[in-house]
Amino acid sequence: MLHPLGEIVQVAYVVNDVVEGARRWAERFGAGPFFVRHHIPMHDSTHRGRPAPFDHTNACGQWGSIMVELIQDHGTGPSVVRDMYAPGEEGLHHVACFVDDLDAAVAGYVALGYEVAGTGNAYGLTRVCYIDTIAERGHLTELYVPTGRLRDFYAMVAEAAQGWDGSDPVRLRE
């Protein structure tokens, strides 16, 4: 059983260009390889309780025992990215946590006084929720249930890193 408020499985950073960011992370920190997904379909997305599109591209790679996600925001309106960074700024954005029950975990954070910053449904298959933990932790906290498809993705990224020689650090994934 997972901790009711989540177990950290990923750390995410906002970057201006995910391909360049992934190359930089691979060269400087040995993270990778990174798998890029352009314009991830985020269904039913909200920001601070109101409908809001969340158009972004990401690159996911392994850095030791944890996944690193690099996020490039394509939107111009309010979003969980713009809550922390203006266009052109980069930095730590969130940690992601697996939870057994998304609704219960969200309720647990809300009961502790945190607000829901945003929600969505990636690919129409994975519900996600961003909790505003910025004041206390300096970043958001993303929550989702580790479905089979999601666990398979995490495993694929981790397996690609095993014995990786640094070549082909950026790979397209649809």
pLDDT band at 27 (very low <50, low <70, confident <90, very high): very high
- The answer on pLDDT for 87 being more than 60 is yes
What is the reported pLDDT for 41? 85
What does the pLDDT look like over 128-139, one tens digit per residue? 999 999 999 999
pLDDT of the residue at 174: 64
Q: In this predicted structure, what is the pLDDT of residue 3? A: 66
Long-range CB pairs of 74-77 (<8 Å, 24+ gap) are 74/39, 77/47, 77/52, 77/53
% of the chain exceeding 70 in pLDDT: 97
pTM for the whole structure:
0.94
Question: What confidence tens digit (pLDDT) does each residue in 70-79 have?
Answer: 999 999 899 9
Mean pLDDT, the chain, as a whole number? 94
Q: Are residues 98 and 127 in contact, defined by beta-carbon separation less than 8 angstroms?
A: no
- Domains for the chain: give ranges and CATH numbers: 7-162 (3.10.180.10)
> Which pLDDT value is given to residue 123?
86
In a 3-state reduction of DSSP, which class is residue 45? strand
